[in-house]
């Protein structure tokens, strides 16, 4: 064998450089990281707060879906105006109940109990619970960008107070339109908080 030819026994391990750290090396990166974490935290808290604030809307949509499944039932039609009033009463304090109505804020489907509370307030109520006719229509229209039918509050009053024979005579398309309009309002009404 030739002595100048290196053998495998003479090979040495190559020294590797030190591993590169993934930690930021300057204070600017730490500042950017803290701003990003703080922003994510603020956005997360705000989303959670909005999600909790809109609980009444989610509950109303669930109830509206239940009512829509049994739209042939007269009780389901009679419950539509009550549902819209309860949504209006559940709006955050600036738009919802007046001071005398604060006990009505919870989105409670015990209608008899809620109706007793509203009746007990009588004329002292100045909030959404006391609205009717044109004032109720104006309230509904004021809180949504899309136009509502001009006689929507009258249609709701018809559902609440008309005799059963009148409700039975309503065509299925008209009933569906009422449910769709109520769903539109519950989904899209604006709450400035």
pLDDT tens digits, residue range 20-54?
A: 888 888 899 999 999 999 999 999 999 999 999 88
The Cα–Cα gap between 74 and 163 comes to 10
Check: CB of residue 57 under 8 Å from CB of residue 87: yes
Q: CB neighbours of 122 closer than 8 A, spacing ≥ 6?
A: none
pLDDT in tens, 101-116: 444 444 444 445 555 5
- Segment 55-77 mean pLDDT: 88
């Amino acid at each position: 064998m030739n002595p100048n030819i290196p053998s495998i026994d003479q090979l040495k391990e190559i020294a590797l450089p030190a591993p590169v750290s993934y930690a930021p090396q300057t204070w600017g990166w730490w500042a950017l990281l803290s701003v990003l974490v703080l922003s994510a935290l603020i956005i997360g808290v705000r989303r959670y707060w909005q999600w909790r604030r809109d609980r009444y809307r989610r509950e109303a949509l669930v109830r509206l879906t239940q009512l829509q499944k049994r739209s042939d039932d007269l009780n389901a039609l009679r419950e539509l105006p009550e549902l819209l009033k309860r949504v209006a009463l559940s709006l955050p304090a600036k738009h919802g109940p007046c001071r005398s109505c604060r006990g009505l804020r919870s989105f409670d489907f015990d209608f008899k109990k809620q109706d007793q509370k509203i009746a007990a307030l009588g004329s002292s109520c100045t909030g959404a619970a006391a609205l009717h006719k044109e004032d109720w229509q104006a309230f509904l229209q004021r809180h949504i960008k899309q136009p509502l039918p001009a006689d929507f509050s009258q249609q709701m009053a018809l559902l609440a107070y008309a005799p059963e024979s009148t409700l039975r005579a309503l065509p299925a398309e008209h009933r569906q339109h009422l449910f769709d309009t109520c769903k539109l309002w519950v989904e899209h009404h604006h709450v400035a908080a």
